Amino acid sequence: MSGRRHLPQHAALRHAAGPGGAPPHLHSPAPLNQRLLQTVGRSARLKVLNEIKRTQGLAVGEIAERLGMSYMGVKDVCTDLERRGLLDTWREPQPKGRPRMLYRLTVRAHELFPTASNRATIAVLEAAQKLYGPTAPEKLLLVFFQRQTGDYTARLKGETVLARVKSLARLRDLEGYMSEAEMAPDGTLRLVEHHSPILDLLQAFPIVGRLEGEMFRRILGVPVRREEEIVSGLYCCTFYIPLPQT
């Protein structure tokens, strides 16, 4: 008789996943690229890169206004970052007059914002899929997002939907999602995320996007629509949240 202990399928999944049944290390941060950090150097450069990362591109004047810096100070920083291969420029057509010149991050600059921090999680999910069938990863991810929903709910502040969305944006921003709450012209509230620390997981298991949207809906108690796009390496995910009629 073999001394090997055979676990039932559900128990084996929990064993592989770690305590609580959720995939391990889902939010473990990847180390920043130290060589790139040495290239960037001064804090002014980091501030400029961080601000541009939150957009699809900014003009020098816009960066200066956002950061409270002088126009020429920002221009010098952007020129330096472009020379180092961390920024490039593109011209945005205008209805009248000359196009606006905007600065945006290059692929190299995106390495400063890690998105490949979940190799162990992906390996566990792929192993579970191979051993226990195509639905196993979804079950493990569901456990994680249920736990994450409870964690956010406990930490969220505010009585109104608007206050809770702003609180959620702050929590997500601290976790590296570069989140902002903003009001759309049609009165719809938007939570916009310009980065995803779990982008590699999203790409390997697209169901993560649906689970993320459902988590927001449960936390906020209102319908939530999630739209994600990646254009020229620029990630942006927008959650549309209708405000209750008063």
**The two three-digit tokens of residue 50, written as one number:** 């961080």
Is residue 161 within 8 Å of 243, Cβ to Cβ? yes
Helices (H), 56-160: 60-67, 71-83, 107-110, 119-132, 136-155
Q: Do 186 and 209 have their domain in common?
A: yes
Q: Do 103 and 163 have their domain in common?
A: no
Write down which residue in 110, 138, 173 finishes a domain. 110
What is the pLDDT, as a whole number, of residue 235? 85
pLDDT tens per residue, range 34-67: 455 445 555 888 889 988 988 888 999 999 999 9
Return the higher-pLDDT residue of 134 and 2: 134
Q: Which residue has the tokens 């449960």?
A: 218
- Domain of 226, in residue numbers: 119-241
CATH code for the domain of 61: 1.10.10.10
Q: Are strands 189-193 and 234-241 parallel, antiparallel or unpaired?
A: antiparallel
- Integer Cα distance of 226 and 206 in angstroms: 13
Chain Cα centroid distance, residue 108: 18
Count the domains in the chain.
2
Is residue 164 within 8 Å of 191, Cβ to Cβ? no
CATH code for the domain of 203: 3.30.1380.20
**Cβ count near 212 (within 10 Å):** 22
3-state DSSP assignment of residue 102: strand
What is the pLDDT, as a whole number, of residue 14? 42
- pLDDT at residue 233 is higher than 80: no
- Integer Cα distance of 26 and 110 in angstroms: 20
Of residues 77, 71, 70, the one with CA closest to residue 45:
77
Of residues 41, 43, 36, 48, the one with CA closest to residue 85:
36
pLDDT tens per residue, range 113-165: 776 667 888 999 999 999 999 999 999 999 999 999 999 999 999 999 999 99
Is residue 168 within 8 Å of 216, Cβ to Cβ? yes
pTM for the structure as a whole: 0.74
Q: Do 157 and 197 have their domain in common?
A: yes
**The two three-digit tokens of residue 183, written as one number:** 């009001």
